[in-house]
Amino acid sequence: MTRAVLAALLALAAPAGADPQAPPAKPTPAPLATRVPAPAAAPTASPAPAAPEYRVGAGDVLEVVVLGNDDLSRTPTVQTGGTVTLPLLGEVAVLGLTVPEIKTKLTELLGRDYLVRPQVEVTVKDYQSQFVTVLGEVASPGRKPLRGRTRLVDVLVDAGGFGPRASGEVTVTRMDGAFEDGTRTRTLRFAAGSLTPDAQAGLETSLRHGDIVSASPKYYVTVEGEVNRPGRFPLESDLTVSGAVSLAGGLTRFGSQGLKLRRLDVATGRTTIIEVDLKDVRNGKQPDPRLLPNDVVMVSRKLI
């Protein structure tokens, strides 16, 4: 089920994988998520922790059915004070209780003074008390209600899936509390056409009230000059200067091993030029710089 849903979500983002302004290119290397093999001792990711039981809040609409006593059944809304009003019982505090807890409470109250072995059914008819916010490259961003045990995949589906400019990278920010590992931010990457164990576990991430889900846009880098396929290319999280040159089909016969990386600091407007020697990179004498959005790799013609 989750695998089919992910395929549908990623299908919307598939057109963003290539720049329409770039020249035709040969197939590019697979994203990092599909290149790294799973460890032999742990071929599958650990299952995501079970989502916590939904706790009722102000604004939620409950469906309370007392079997055999239709006159006692109601569809009350949880008031700002955390109570619902029911026949015979009057105001009953339900704020912060789970549905099973509410069912038990109402059964005990009715059985104590009014009915013999009452049978009560309780459901949440309309979820209106807890929300998450979905931002970025999805079809329908905005505030989305939590419906019971809500997972990341549920909210992405509710938001209509990824938009055409989505990169497949999703960040979940926890505004109240933290995740199981103590962090407040979790970044996940979903590669089109594949579902790794880690990606599947990520989709099962349980959400809570106040979480912010951000779908990042796809960024590009430019490779120009003496390469076989100059143009713009999608920026993957691990793309380096040498990797970008490979995406561009490698150097031409006249291409120089000495490259320049032009980087613009958007905050200051300052442009920085970083010199990179591909030969030194291959020999381990110089690091292979990781690229940032909108970087430009310039390959000059070598001197003959």
- Taking only the tens place, the pLDDT of each residue in 166-222 is 988 999 999 999 998 999 999 998 876 667 888 888 999 999 999 999 999 999 999
Most confident of the following: 21-30, 70-79, 159-168: 70-79
Pick the residue with more confidence: 179 or 39? 179
Identify each DSSP E strand in the chain by its residue range: 61-66, 83-86, 90-93, 120-126, 131-136, 142-145, 166-173, 185-189, 212-217, 220-225, 231-234, 255-265, 270-277, 296-301
| Nearest-angstrom CA–CA distance, 136 and 131 | 17
| Nearest-angstrom CA–CA distance, 25 and 250 | 12
Q: How far is CA 174 from the centre of its chain?
A: 12
Both 239 and 251 in a single domain?
Answer: yes
Whether 46 is in a domain gets the answer no
For residue 235, is pLDDT > 60?
yes
Pull the structure tokens for residue 62.
């409950």
Q: Looking at residue 17, what DSSP letter applies? A: G
Query: Which residues have C-beta within 8 Å of that of residue 161, sequence separation ≥ 6?
Result: 8, 9, 11, 12, 13, 138, 139
Both 89 and 210 in a single domain?
Answer: no
**What type of residue sits at position 274?**
I
Q: 185 near 205, Cβ under 8 Å?
A: no
Range of the domain at 70: 61-126
Share of the chain above pLDDT 70, in %: 82
Q: Which CATH number covers residue 231?
A: 3.10.560.10
Both 141 and 7 in a single domain?
Answer: yes
Q: pTM of the predicted model, to two decimals?
A: 0.69
**What type of residue sits at position 213?**
V
For residue 39, is pLDDT > 50?
no
For residue 37, is pLDDT > 70?
no
What's the domain count of the chain? 3
Both 115 and 264 in a single domain?
Answer: no
For residue 236, is pLDDT > 90?
no
- pLDDT at residue number 303: 80
Both 134 and 17 in a single domain?
Answer: yes
- Closest to 199 in 3D by CA, of 189, 212, 187, 213: 189
